[in-house]
Structure 1
Amino acid sequence: MRRKLRVAAYAVCVRDDQLLLARGFDDEGRPEWTLPGGGMEHGEDPYDTVLRELKEETGYDVEITGLLGVNSIRFTTRHRFGREVDRHGVRLVYEGRVTGGELRHEVGGSTDMAAWHPLGEVESLNRVGLVDVALALWRERPVTGRVAVEE
């Protein structure tokens, strides 16, 4: 079975009890909310990745105020021609504070819009599991840098 590793960096940005999210699409094309962030490019530092991805997906300049934790996910998918792929995602979750820029939507990327959502309403959104993991890290701030949240 083919193996694929993806390392990515994301940021939890909370302002006035609202969470900044970006909207992407699942495998069936349905919209779903996620944290702004994404995959590292070869040779890129995760810190630089999260700053770049936030700017690309939201238009904001962000100051990273801390590393909340690391989340690892593993699952199997089918590649073209029916071959199985053992996928392993390592996701670094930072806390960020917006310092400049203006909210705008990404053009030609993996997301199509960005928006602030009241924290109390996030649970009702169609969202990826990473959002729940990241909010748990943000709220609990575990010394281990990991939380037990089902995805």
Structure 2
Amino acid sequence: MREKLRVAAYAVCVRDGQVLLARSPAEDGTPEWVLPGGGMEHGEDPYDTVRRELMEETGYHVEVTGLLGIDSFHRPFARGTLLSRTTDHHHVRIVYSAEIAGGELRDEVDGSTDMAAWHDLDAVPDLPHIRLVDVALRLWRERPAAGRLADERA
């Protein structure tokens, strides 16, 4: 089985009861909301990654205000034809809190997301979104000292 590790950094930006999210197509092409952020480039510090990714995906400059925690999980799956190999994907996602420091909201052009928007925190459960959004909002609300939710498993 092929193994693939992806390390990424994301930010929870909340203001006036709303959270900033970006929209990305799922594997089947259906749009779903994600936390703004993304993969680290080789040699890049995660702090710089989250600031770069937020600018690319939302148009905002952010000030990182804290480290909320780490989300780690893996899952094997096969892609493509019947002859393709199964890949064990391991995702390590560093979650920060951040505040908007400048810029203007805009959508990403030619990137992994197609829209950025503020959403009421109460409306998030009804939005089509990935698991990381729920995990990150729990980290933001609960602020566990160890940076990991007690009932979250890899």
Deviation of 1:79 (Å): 3.8
TM-score by length of 1: 0.97
1:135 maps onto 2:152 in alignment: no
Other-structure match for 2:25:
25
Other-structure match for 1:103:
105
Deviation of 1:131 (Å): 0.2
Number of residue pairs matched? Answer: 151
Return 5+ residue gaps in structure 1 as ranges. none
What stretches of structure 1 move > 4 A for 4+ residues in a row?
A: none
Paired residues of 1:24 and 1:111 also in contact (CA < 8 A): yes
Counterparts of 1:1-151 in structure 2, within 5 Å, are 1-80=1-80, 81-147=83-149, 148-149=151-152
Name the CA distance, whole Å, in 2 between partners of 1:142 and 1:125.
Answer: 25
TM-score by length of 2: 0.95
2:54 is paired with a residue whose SS is: helix
Q: Per the alignment, do residues 149 and 126 of structure 1 end up closer, same or farther by CA in structure 2, a change over 3 Å counting?
A: farther
1:49 is paired with a residue whose SS is: helix
Paired residues of 1:19 and 1:118 also in contact (CA < 8 A): yes
Identity, % of aligned positions: 64
Return 5+ residue gaps in structure 2 as ranges. none
1:55 is paired with a residue whose SS is: helix
Cα distance per residue 1:74-130 (max 9 Å; x no partner): 001214442100110000000000010000000000000000000010010000000
Name the CA distance, whole Å, in 2 between partners of 1:144 and 1:110.
Answer: 31
